[in-house]
Amino acid sequence: MSFYAIVEKAFAMEQAGKRIVPLHIGDTNLPTPASAIRAATEFLSNKRSLYGPGAGLRQLRERIARREGCAVENVVVGPGSKHLLFGLLSVLGKPGMRIAIPAPGWPAYALMARQLRLEPVSLPTSLESGWLFDPEAARGCGLFMLCNPQNPTSTVYPAELVERTLAIAREAGGQVILDEAYKGLAFEPMPRIDGALRVRSFSKEFSMEGWRLGYAVAPAPVAAALTGFNQITATCVADFVQLAGISCLEEEEQILGAVRATWKRRSLAGQAALRAAGFQFAAPQGGMYVFATHPKLRDADKLGERLLERGVAIAPGSGFGDYPRFVRLCLNQEPAVLEQAIRQLAEAIDELA
């Protein structure tokens, strides 16, 4: 069963009244900050709904520019980072262009590329290598798609590795797209990488998944093309959503400090339970995921189907590349729930062995 098939089946089961422990999808399971809700409701109380600029409200873009150390002309706001990633591939890619994607990787990257008739080039990595890719293997690619911290492994790529990838891309006249959706959840500070096209999201950092808000930082010509993409697709992001985003950025230090502490607590509990059950994995360097295997695990797809019937949803590793003996768990539950779910996971592996 594919990753997105599990997502849809889990939704259907929940709507039918079955309780599901959702370890398969990157839902933070945390409340949206009160200041964001307050900013949105104050705007909505005016009972107005207006079209806005395709690049986003000026006041939000100015606040993002201060956060990212760039000019406001380099910032484009969109309805979630996935929309902006697809937009960047649309305006930069040409049919047949090769795009390098480290594996394991978020399945949407390759699906987007194929939709646009680009050629995904997988850069396989391993648990033994710490999930670090070899940028030399991607020479000749016109685009590079990196997620940092990485989904599904929660690995933080060293700055030197990203800089080397940028150098290789420049030699070929290519571009590096850096998906930083999880940057604010890294357990240690991450440096800003200049030279890449950077995309960030409010979904994970500020628990605003359903609000659909993200932004891209790019050179002015690329930003202008991306704004045009917005104009012919989503038109604009709703004003109340953008105002909620401003309120989050104004309280960023306080909000992210509390969020990181929650993810660290959850992650440590999940890691301890996995080790006790005999799983192997690279220690996550940030929230939200762990990508784990077990000596007895042979077919994570079958495991995912069996567990789902028992009320626990996981993401099989095959959804992230050729990793049928791995599972991705989103550690988005309290420790007691994680420990129980991981016990059920281990029991199901024993039964299938």
Which amino acid would we find at residue 307?
L
Kindly report, residue by residue over 134-186, the tens digit of the pLDDT: 999 999 999 999 999 999 999 999 999 999 999 999 998 999 999 999 999 99
pTM over 0.85: yes
- CB neighbour burial string for 248-258, b if at least 16 within 10 angstroms, e if fewer: bbeeeeebbee
CB 204, CB 288: distance < 8 Å: yes
Q: Is 219 helix (H, G, I), strand (E, B) or coil?
A: coil
DSSP states along 10-64: HHHHHHTT---EE-SS----SPPPHHHHHHHHHHHTT-------TT--HHHHHHH
CA distances from 271 to 58, 169, 285 (A): 43, 36, 12
Whole-number pLDDT of residue 353: 86
Report residue 195: phi and psi, to 5°: 105, -20
Angle of CA points 207, 212, 217, to nearest 5°? 95
DSSP 222-268: HHHHHHHHHHHTT----HHHHHHHHHHHHTHHHHHHHHHHHHHHHHH
> What is the band of 1 on the pLDDT scale with cuts at 50, 70, 90?
low
Q: Look over the chain and give the mean of its residue pLDDT values, rounded to a whole number.
A: 96
d(CA 221, CA 219): 6
Triad 244, 249, 255: Cα angle to 5°: 95
Burial zone of 47 (CB within 10 Å; 0-12 exposed, 13-18 middle, 19+ buried): exposed
pLDDT in tens, 41-98: 999 998 888 899 999 999 999 999 999 999 999 999 999 999 999 999 999 999 999 9
- With a pLDDT cut of 90, the percent of the chain lying above it is 95
Q: Which two tokens stand for residue 184?
A: 């604010």
Exposed/middle/buried for residue 311 (C-beta within 10 Å: 0-12, 13-18, 19+): middle
Q: Report pLDDT digits (tens) over 104-145.
A: 999 999 999 999 999 999 999 999 999 999 999 999 999 999
**Structure confidence at residue 63 (pLDDT):** 98
304-330 confidence digits (pLDDT tens): 999 999 999 999 999 999 999 999 999
Q: Can you give the pLDDT at residue 112?
A: 98
β-pairing, 197-201 vs 21-22, is unpaired
Closest alpha carbon to 108 in 74, 84, 124: 84
